[in-house]
């Protein structure tokens, strides 16, 4: 697996997230109390931009239909909602992250 520099640790404050592009792929990088995690940037339901959603306690909520994902594992913890319908969504995947000095490196296959 190749690791590519995505950002500097100082660019993503604790409790925040940011979209980065690595090797043409959009990735969501999250800082949870100094630990960094990454998942694909788009929701598995209808490709909503997760970086525009809300982050609470390691759970990111898609701004389009409210699907929720655990940023540590990529697991869908709540489905999407459209009007009165609840729709099950697929899990996303967790992307390997490592820190070297102040660099955030993302594992890209």
Query: What DSSP string runs through 62-101?
Result: -TTT--EEETTT--EEE-EEETTEEE-------B-EEEET
Scored b (16 or more CB within 10 A) or e, 85-107 reads eeeebeebebbebeeeeeebbbe
CB distance 89 to 79 below 8 Å = yes
Task: Report pTM.
Answer: 0.92
pLDDT score, position 4:
94
CB distance 108 to 25 below 8 Å = yes
pLDDT score, position 33:
93
Per-residue pLDDT of the chain (109 residues; tens, 9 = 90+): 889 999 999 999 999 999 999 989 999 999 999 999 999 999 998 888 999 999 999 999 999 899 999 999 999 999 888 888 888 999 999 999 999 999 999 998 7
pLDDT score, position 92:
95
Superfamily per CATH, domain 2-108: Rieske [2Fe-2S] iron-sulphur domain (2.102.10.10)
């Amino acid at each position: 697996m190749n690791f590519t520099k995505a950002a500097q640790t100082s660019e993503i404050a604790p409790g925040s997230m940011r979209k980065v592009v690595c090797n043409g792929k959009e990735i969501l990088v999250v800082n949870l109390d100094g630990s960094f995690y990454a998942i694909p940037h788009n929701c598995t339901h209808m490709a909503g931009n997760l970086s525009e959603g809300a982050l609470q306690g390691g759970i990111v909520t898609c701004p389009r239909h409210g699907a929720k994902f655990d940023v540590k594992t990529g697991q869908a913890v709540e489905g999407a909602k459209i009007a009165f319908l609840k729709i099950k969504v697929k899990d996303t995947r967790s992307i390997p992250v490592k820190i070297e000095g102040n660099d955030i490196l993302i594992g890209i296959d």
